[in-house]
Structures are given as structure tokens and as C-alpha cells.
Chains A and B, each alone.
Chain A
Amino acid sequence: MPAPPPAPEKVVTAPATAPVPKAAPEPKATLPQPAPSREPSKPAPAKEAAPAPAPAPAKATAPPLDLRTLEERLKGTSAIGVLTKLSLKNQVDDLIAKFRTYHAGARPPTLTDLKPSFDLLLMKVLSLLQDKDAALARDINASRDAIWGVLTDKQKLAEFS
């Protein structure tokens, strides 16, 4: 808030001064850190004052899962059987292999090619989980962008393997 100047007209002056920075902290927070749970409501004041373009503070709408957590929860859920889990793992591995090919520079698989495969696989996972482990399904769905962010980032994907 700059100052409370005596606005002569009572109509909305100051078109877009203050409210913007608080509302939109980059919706596509690309998997912040594997840090467990920071206090999301109280970020460092210095960071808020200077909204740098790159860092994107951790204030996503739902706490996204990282791939490790996702993997562990999928392994642990009783909502799907052993063969189904193995089959899903096969498909996840296949998809990751395609992303590796992409990151290696080969071009038949473009990101545009890979996105439908990713969406389809996620849909399969969600449809398997939604009735018997709704919480996990919800969390995975909320992490969709974060997972995509990891897959499309060469370094993050390498760290995961």
C-alpha cells in the first residue's frame, strides 16, 4: 500500500497497485523442494517484498507430492492388487524411458507426444484408486503439474532415478 492519498474522486482509482502480488504466486510451482511441510502461510517477508521472477515461493493450492512419496504411497496402498501395481510400474517405467529419450535429444518423442501418454497413465492410476483410496487419488491429481514438472526437467528426472 503506497500511501493513503486523498483521492478526490470516489471512483476506483489506483488500477492495479497492491492486490496482484498476493494473489498469484505462479500456479505451476514446479515441485518446490522435497521439504516436508513448511508453514505455507508465513513466508519470509523479504521474499514477499521483492517478487523475483524465478523462485516462485511455495504457496501452491494443495501440497504436491514428490515422486518418491507418490511411489511409496502407491506401493503401500491396498486399493490395488500386486499384479496391478507391477503393471502400473511397468507403464511408469516405460513412460520415464520415453522422457529420457526426449531429454537425450532424440526427437520423435516431443513433449506434445508425451503429454497424452502422461495424461492417460495418470487417468489409469486415478481410476484405479478413486474408489478405494480416494485420498491418494486426490493427492495425485493435485500433484499432476508437479509430476509433469519433474518429468520434463532433465535434472529433476535424473535426481529421481
Chain B
Amino acid sequence: MRRLALAACLAATAALAADDPKQKDDLAAVIALQGKPCGEVVSYTVQGANDFVATCKDGNKYRVHVKDGRVVVEKQ
């Protein structure tokens, strides 16, 4: 039970505090590859495995996730 609580806590922390510059670049590249405006990802949150919400410098927000082996970018 304690472990479960700890895991949940860690997951919640990760969702709030993700700030890996490489991941930001990765997200920015994916968004650009899909032809969506962004420029630069200034922050992002982790929603789950391969599931992110990226905030761009221009204010756009995108959910980037993998579904059936495809990377999907959805405007939020």
C-alpha cells in the first residue's frame, strides 16, 4: 500500500516537474513534423507512458502521445 502511494506520488511529481531539454526538443520536433505551429517547447507535463502535453513558446498547447504505433499530436 505504501509502495503504491509512493508510486502515485512519483507519477504526480513527474507530471508536474518534467523539464528535460532533450524531451522538449523531441516534442518540438514531433510537433513541427506534423506541420503544427510551435517554434519551441517551453514546458511539458507527462500524462503517462509516451503521453505528454507540451506548451509552446507561441502559447499553443499540444497533447503528444503514441496510439497504435503512431505519434499523434492534438491541439489542446
A residues apposed to B, CB below 8 Å: 80-84, 86-88, 90-91, 124, 128
Q: Is the CB of B71 within 8 A of A80?
A: no
Tell me the nearest residue of chain A to B29, going by C-beta. Answer: A84
Contact A124 B23 (CB under 8 A): no
Q: What number of B residues sit within 8 Å (CB to CB) of A? A: 15
Q: How far is the CA of A95 from the CA of B39 in the complex (A)?
A: 25
**B26 and A128 contacting across the interface, CB-CB below 8 Å:** no
B70 and A83: CB pair below 8 A?
Answer: no
Give 15 A-B contacts (CB < 8 Å), ordered by A residue: A81-B22, A81-B26, A81-B29, A81-B30, A83-B30, A84-B29, A84-B30, A86-B66, A86-B71, A87-B33, A88-B33, A90-B69, A90-B70, A124-B33, A128-B29
Question: Given A83-B66, A86-B70, 10 other A-B contacts at CB below 8 A?
Answer: A81-B25, A83-B27, A83-B29, A83-B71, A84-B26, A86-B71, A87-B30, A87-B34, A90-B69, A90-B70
B76 on the interface (CB 8 Å rule)?
no
Q: Contact between B23 and A81 (Cβ–Cβ < 8 Å)?
A: yes
Which residue on chain A has the smallest CB distance to residue B66?
A86
List residues of chain A with CB within 8 A of the CB of B69.
86, 90
* Complex Cα gap A80–B33 (Å): 12
Flag whether B64 is at the interface (Cβ < 8 A): yes
Contact flags B48-76 to A (C-beta < 8 A → 1, else 0)? 00100000000000001010011100000
Considering residues B29, B34, B50, which has the most beta carbons from chain A within 10 angstroms of its beta carbon? B29
- Give the docked Cα–Cα distance between A124 and B34 (Å): 10
When distances are taken between beta carbons in the complex, the residues of chain A under 8 Å from B34 are 87
Shortest 8 CB-CB distances between A and B: which pairs? A81-B26, A87-B71, A84-B29, A83-B30, A87-B33, A87-B30, A83-B26, A90-B70
